[in-house]
Structure 1
Amino acid sequence: MDTPSLRQRWLGTKLAELRQQAGIASLAVAAEKCKRSTGSLSRIENGLVGVPPRDIPAILDAYAVTDLGVRERLMVVAAEIQQERRGWWVEHSDALAPSYMDLIRLEATATQIRTFETYLIPGLLQTEAYARVFVSAMRGLSSETELEEFVAVRMTRKAVLTRDEPVVLRAVISEAALRHPIGGVEAFREQLQHLRECAAWPAVTVQILPFTDRPHPGMSGAFTILKLPQLDVAHIEAMNTDMYIEDEHAVGQYLHAYDRLCELALSPEDTDSLLTKMADTL
């Protein structure tokens, strides 16, 4: 993997923090304690290379880390990093931005995804026709081949919703997204129907946030929170990159904001009624 993944960088930073907390300022001293070369430890801490799960205990022993929760967390993340090298997304690594690859890898191992969208249907709930129109307008792809590959990747991402143990997806969508019939009437009607079908799946919840005269925490923009086995991440999609927030306090603020949006949004039942009405009146 040429570009380090988010988890790989996170693990390196965490190991560096633990080394410093152990009072070991010198990387050379730490490397000697860990029975590794200084260069190897430096590359790990800088997130340039992964570290096999079997090597984690020796490093933590050298840093006198006895907290079982911390040890298990780092072991799990190290194992996830190894899994990242064998996913379906590897064959698309040359065509996709590293930050977008991070999103795909995180979705694949997430247990729960909470997403809030302002003007679009969430990517995991898009039809192919809707995705093609959106991607062609926003991503600035240079050829039809690139467009088709990007759309194919977006459709493949949706497999997390239909696998044997599907990710739990909760989506709050601003009413503004429903007032923007991307792709034309027929394509958008198909998209609304698809949204209703997905919302009927046991692991998917969809709520529409209606227009309101009250301010709400989603006014700052769309965001997604991915809950992983040992790491929670907030994700914000920009025009040409994807940004990630890993600080626990900051992620907690996004979770609080999302809970508030759920309170303000229509119930799943009222959402279904609204989607049905809109599809019938297009």
Structure 2
Amino acid sequence: MSLRRASTLRHPFPPRSRRSRACSSGNSRLRAGQPERHLHPLSLAAAAAYRTWADLLGRDGIAVLRYDKRFLTYPSLDPLTLTQDDQVEDALAAVRYLASRPEVDPARVFILGHSEGAALAPVAAARGPVRAVIAVAATALAIDSLVVEQLRASEDVPPGMAEDVDGQFRALRDGTFPADGEILGAGAEYWRQFISYTQRADSIAEALGRPVLVVQGLADPYLPGGTLQRSLDRWRAASVRSAAVELRTYAGLDHSLYDTASGAPGAGVIRAAGEWMKAR
């Protein structure tokens, strides 16, 4: 299926400083686009963060293309048919679009992914002409086990829901889950691919053969209990095995790199990521 993706290209300022380019992918629910599309109820904080990141990177001379997930642009699409490979293809379409722009150096296109987008960014980079990857809040744990841990840690989840979802994921893994079944609003193939990519996130990054910067806030509520440490352990081990993988952690920053004390965005973190891109 050929689809047009709603997107926003943030040109760098001042124009003479266009030294590198970034394709920014989004979190588990929204890839941010134009201001009127920032009000998706599931991703207000993340969408505001993407807008801030694009502005900061633009001021540092980096053009940023942000785009919506296809189900936001096309609400009539059946969400149960969406797969992670569809979203990888959307990221590659963004890369191809950037590379086609006359003001963009096609050899200097990066992918910056957040949350779910961070898990998919190295996968997309392995399939396209991407110079390097920045993965923000990228888990190195299988997403099914992490989602269950998130549900168990949440005070807002109805009793028994975590166990019900755990049972659905176990059925998915052992092959007894219905092909047309649904888990938390997504279809079976979406979750199969998501599990595969997240449980191999560290090895996928290592095998990429291009620089991967993993950025993690240490006050991320979406990595409850011991999941944060387990994920960091895997990323640290990957950085030891491969000089191309680098892990940076930041105390007091949450899932979208906001300071949990002040509520301010982690501007210094994003600017540092921009400098990292410029150096490559």
- TM-score, normalisation: structure 2: 0.34
Write 1 or 2 for the structure with the bigger share of helix.
Answer: 1
In our comparison, the structure showing a higher alpha carbon Rg is 1
| TM-score normalized with structure 1 length | 0.34
